[in-house]
Amino acid sequence: MWAEDFSDLAKTLKASEIRELLKVTQMEGIISFAGGLPNPKSFPVEIINEITSNLLDRYGEKMLQYGSTEGVNSFRDTLAEYFMKTHDFKNLSRDNILITSGSQQGLYLLGKVFLNPGDIVVVEAPTYVGALTAFQTFQPTYVEAELENDGMSMELLEKKLKELKKEGKKPKFIYSIPTFQNPAGVTMSLEKRKRLLELAHEYDVLVVEDSPYEELRFSGEKIPQLKALDNDGYVLYLGTLSKVLSPGMRIAFMIGDEEVIHKAALAKQGVDLCTSPFVQYIAEEYIKGGYMSSHIPRIIELYREKRNIMLDALEDYFPDGVEWTKPDGGMFLWVTLPKHLDSEKLLPKAIENKVVYVIGAAFYPHRDHKNTMRLNFTYPSNEEIEEGVKRLAKVIKEAL
Ligand code: PMP
Ligand code: G9A
């Protein structure tokens, strides 16, 4: 009835592939490798129950009131200390930190702060589909740097930055998920991280480091975050508690240059006034009380087993000519089918066989890669992983 009155922007809005697929995944008997959902077994329900009731006794009035847009000050102080101590981030104070309602909101706020229509954003290809959804309101132009097994191609990035400079253009930022990337599961090497920062300096471009998965390492050596290698505000870091505590709590944080943080807080005022103080107090106690550090190893153990089961099943059931990444952490792996197969065309067949994944094209700004798919291994049960891979292998073999 009102569709004619929708704004030009609303008329362009498209559903996120992942949000849409959540409906399919709720169908009876479906095994889902689609959404990036943590396993419910990873939620520390009892700890949260206990913390919440203690906190309500002590701080009930503050928890139930509106809070400042920047976030609860003591929580911002706790995070500053936590990231300097555990991540080696330099010179943080609460003024470098904005609490957001999920990193998804952080991405949206960055769009609001930086992007005019047509502005350039450099992304890894493939990249997180939710970032494309967040930025779409601001209608940027994308420049893609291909993702390799050790992270974004620095050669391509340099080439593109050089070309843009020749045309008198500069990207507003480079968006990267360097650790256990979504969707591909790969991790950027230390050499590439250093090179990325050199290029950021040379071409004077901000780097947005989106890092929800870094704590979930199952194998290999820890690599410093880009933000830990940054001495002068070239990296804006997005962290979240969604994958190490609960996505339902919607607690995340943007860490970076004070001026950007302040502007993002102004942008947030019009979005939700503030992130729930109730939940911020709980999150603060979860970190300060050491619960987070003691709980993460349990999540890692749960997910490492699931990753191994999926890798073994892929090896056992997938036909020759199909390749996949072998992630050291995170929640996803990335499957590449022979060139002539289109994972979007296979999806209805997969759903018929009661298994679902996210098509690779969703993770490219121009949706121009067809023969890939993303598999999540954290949500299904161990038995479902094996059975789901078997079903998917059948669909692929039939298509071959
Ligand atoms: N960035 C990336 C790379 C993600 O994978 C996700 C969640 N899937 C988000 C941001 C958003 O996370 P949240 O809003 O729950 O913090
Ligand atoms: O449910 C969501 O939209 C968050 C998950 C993101 C993903 O699957 O990448």
Count of Cβ atoms closer than 10 Å to residue 368 Cβ: 9
The average pLDDT across 222-243 equals 97
CA atoms of 54 and 394, how far apart (whole Å): 52
pLDDT at 187: 98
Rounded Cα gap, residues 196 and 6, in angstroms: 41
Q: Determine if ligand 2 sits within 6 Å of the CB of residue 67.
A: no
Q: Are both 386 and 237 inside the same structural domain? A: no
**pTM for this entry:** 0.97
pLDDT range class, residue 183, cuts 50, 70, 90: very high
Whether residues 277 and 302 share a domain: the answer is no
Last residue of a domain, one of 292, 308, 326: 292
- Read off the pLDDT of each residue in 60-81 and give the average, rounded to a whole number: 98
Query: What pLDDT was estimated at residue 13?
Result: 84
Q: What is the mean pLDDT of residues 228-252?
A: 97
Q: Are residues 313 and 248 in the same domain?
A: no
Q: Are residues 319 and 251 in the same domain?
A: no
Check if 176 has its Cβ closer than 6 Å to any atom of ligand 1.
no
Which of 378, 220, 222, 225 shows the shortest CA–CA distance to 299? 378
Is there a single domain that holds both residue 34 and residue 176? no
3-class DSSP assignment, residue 178: coil
Cβ of 35 below 6 Å from ligand 2: yes
Domain residues for the domain of 71 are: 65-292
Give residue 104's pLDDT: 98
Q: Residue 7: which CATH number?
A: 3.90.1150.10
Do 114 and 239 belong together in one domain? yes
Q: Give the C-alpha separation, 39 to 328, whole Å.
A: 18
Q: List pLDDT tens digits, range 263-277.
A: 999 999 999 999 999
58 located within any domain: no
Write the pLDDT tens digit of every residue in 154-173: 999 999 999 999 999 999 99
Would the CB of 127 count as within 6 Å of ligand 1? no
Give mean pLDDT, residues 42-53: 97
CA of 128 from ligand 1 middle (Å) equals 8
Note whether 310 and 272 are same-domain residues. no
Place of tokens 């702060």: 113
With contact defined as beta carbons under 8 Å apart, do 134 and 113 qualify?
no
Whether residues 312 and 386 share a domain: the answer is yes
For residue 225, what is the DSSP state? -
Same domain, 314 and 279: no
Burial of 144 (0-12, 13-18, 19+ CB in 10 A): buried
How many domains does the chain fold into?
2
Expressed in angstroms and rounded, the spacing between residue 60 Cα and the centre of ligand 2 is 32
Q: Which of these three, 269, 292, 315, is where a domain ends? A: 292
- Does 36 sit in the ligand 2 pocket, CB within 6 Å? yes
For residues 384 and 381, give the distance between their C-alpha atoms in angstroms, rounded to a whole number.
5
Q: Is 98 a member of any domain?
A: yes
Nearest CA owner, ligand 1 atom 12: 103
Mutate to test the pocket of ligand 2, among 17, 18, 376 (most ligand atoms within 8 A of CB): 18
Question: How confident is the model over 5-45, as pLDDT tens digits?
Answer: 999 888 888 777 777 777 888 888 999 999 999 999 999 99
Find out whether the beta carbon of 240 lies less than 6 Å from any atom of ligand 1.
yes
Which one of 101, 240, 331, 333 would you pick to mutate in the ligand 1 pocket, going by the greatest count of ligand atoms within 8 A of its CB?
Answer: 240
Using an 8 Å Cβ cutoff, are 242 and 94 in contact? no
Return the CATH number at 256: 3.40.640.10
d(CA 197, CA 36): 29
The mean pLDDT of the chain is 96
Query: What is the residue with the minimal CA distance to atom 4 of ligand 2?
Result: 36
Q: What is the pLDDT of residue 22?
A: 78
59 found inside a domain? no
On whether residue 213 sits in a domain, the answer given is: yes
19 C-beta closer than 6 A to ligand 2 = yes
Residue 51 in any domain: the answer is no
Packing angle of the helix pair 129-136, 103-114 (nearest 10 deg): 40
DSSP state, residue 238: E
Q: Is pLDDT of 120 > 90?
A: yes
Cis peptide bond N-terminal to 348, omega within 30: no
Same-domain status, 251 and 305: no
| pLDDT tens figures, 366-390 | 988 999 999 999 999 999 999 999 9
Confidence of residue 324 (pLDDT cuts 50, 70, 90): very high
8 Å CB contact between 396 and 371: no
CA distances from 134 to 111, 226, 355 (A): 7, 22, 28
- Residues 99, 129 within the same domain: yes
- Is a pLDDT exceeding 80 seen at residue 83? yes
Question: 339 and 222 share a domain?
Answer: no
Ligand number, closest to the Cα atom of 134: 1
Tell which of 292, 320, 342 closes a domain. 292
The pair of three-digit structure tokens given for residue 23, joined into one six-digit string: 């409906």
Ligand 1 atom with the smallest distance to the CA of 241 is 16
Predicted confidence at residue 15, as pLDDT, reads 79
